[in-house]
Amino acid sequence: MRRLIFLSVLMMSIGLQCQEEVVQVSIAAAAGSKRAKTPLLLVAPGHDPLLDRLLAQLQKDLERSKECVVTIRYETTPITKGLLEKMFVEGFPFVGFLALAADKQALEGRLYASVDHDMLQGKKWAKRDSLAAWSAKISQDMWLQLMGNPGSFISKIAYIQKTKGRSRHPITSLCIIDWSTGNKEVIRTGNAIMIAPYFKPDGKLLFFSEFTNRNVRLMVTNMQGKSWCVVDGDGTCVGLSFLPNLEDVIYGRSGEIWQYHYDETKRQGVHSLLIKDQGECACPIQLRNGDIIYCASGRIWLWSVSTKKAQTISGSGYCTGPAYHEPTGRVVYSQRINRTMQIFIYDMKSQQRTQLTFDAGDKIDPTISPCGVYVAYCLSKGTESHIAVLNTIWRTTERISPAQEHCSCPSWSSSLAV
């Protein structure tokens, strides 16, 4: 009887305790739905010429991709829970408190999620050579905490510039432009034609193809301009992609895709044929799972490592120049629409294609930024050719190469750890 009483009371109490039912629901962002810019408040303790300039540069950097709206405020009161709650009510879910160190050789900062007073980051950033570089480093670290990726603040775009020498002989230069500062640097200049630059994922080496009298060879250069030949066989070697281990490489060679592997035991490099299609294969990209994306017969193909078969992922028009962004699983390429090459993006997961550009001028050789927001490409109109960057969120374009220069073949580096 006692057991019965105990059991009944227990079950009744549990039953009454669990009167709050769980309701589950899914919310998907509908196509074409509004997107919000994230408000970010930067708070400084007081005015200082150096701090003011740095804050202005930070605001410019963080707002560049138009994902954030930065507000700068000067507040002398200490950071309290009440202050953070007040800022959340004002519409600032993220607040950064920044102050110069006593010797002005570093910036001390703390980033908070104001709603639950969580400190997301607390760091000291040492002063850099330039204000832009200093700001880029701070922006990169803050962006990582807010967006979950380091952004493209410290990244570079390599491209080929063509000029004419004194004897009207064409001169080709391999150039690098810094994304945040806009500083241009010429890495290598020569009479031989250079094409298809490609950054090693760690950003320390830059590969490219160079025309010679007997072949098109694969070259590599460091950032100081010292270059050497990597593949100097017969045929044309254009297009390169590193495997995730950063040791093995696949490259295009005379319409075939080859793999290079260094054999430690034999102490020599081994080149092996990987894909031989009926068309001319070019621009190979190795995915993490071993699959390969390449261009052949005016189509973009996805070659499966498991089935050893390729299937097309591009549309019906002539397509060329694929580039892949691994974190988002998207492929960007050029496709001919009404006699004009336009930029398309293909989502590997949803298998959907989206046209990004519609205006006049051929847009070729697209490359995706490390954050996945920007696409840089070569825009050709008549005899002019320059490098443009498209913001894929807001579809705005900016030109990064000077108007008088003939530039082509852009290649974006990964986000560089400095």
Which residues contact other proteins by CB under 8 A?
1, 4-5, 7-12, 14-16, 18-38, 65-67, 93-94, 113, 115, 120, 145-148, 327-330, 347, 349-350, 352, 354, 371-373, 392-394
Question: Between residues 72 and 393, which has the closer beta carbon with respect to other proteins?
Answer: 393
Q: Are 45 and 75 in contact (CB under 8 A)?
A: yes
Question: Between residues 30 and 403, which has the closer beta carbon with respect to other proteins?
Answer: 30
**How far is residue 240 CA from its own chain's centroid?**
17
Q: How far is the CB of 1 from other proteins (least distance, A)?
A: 8
CA angle 292, 347, 332 (to 5 degrees): 70
Q: How far is the CB of 152 from other proteins (least distance, A)?
A: 11
Question: Between residues 38 and 181, which has the closer beta carbon with respect to other proteins?
Answer: 38
Question: Between residues 26 and 245, which has the closer beta carbon with respect to other proteins?
Answer: 26
Of 331, 325, 327, the closest CA to residue 343 belongs to 331
CA angle 317, 321, 327 (to 5 degrees): 110
Q: How far is the CB of 9 from other proteins (least distance, A)?
A: 8
Q: Are 207 and 239 in contact (CB under 8 A)?
A: no
Question: Between residues 250 and 375, which has the closer beta carbon with respect to other proteins?
Answer: 375
**How far is residue 385 CA from its own chain's centroid?**
23
**Two structure tokens written together for 44:** 């400084």
**Two structure tokens written together for 115:** 């709603």
Q: Are 414 and 151 in contact (CB under 8 A)?
A: no
Of 316, 319, 332, 309, the closest CA to residue 282 belongs to 319
Question: Between residues 146 and 176, which has the closer beta carbon with respect to other proteins?
Answer: 146
What values do phi and psi take at 63, rounded to 5?
A: -90, -5
Q: How far is the CB of 54 from other proteins (least distance, A)?
A: 23
Q: How far is the CB of 53 from other proteins (least distance, A)?
A: 27
Q: How far is the CB of 91 from other proteins (least distance, A)?
A: 9
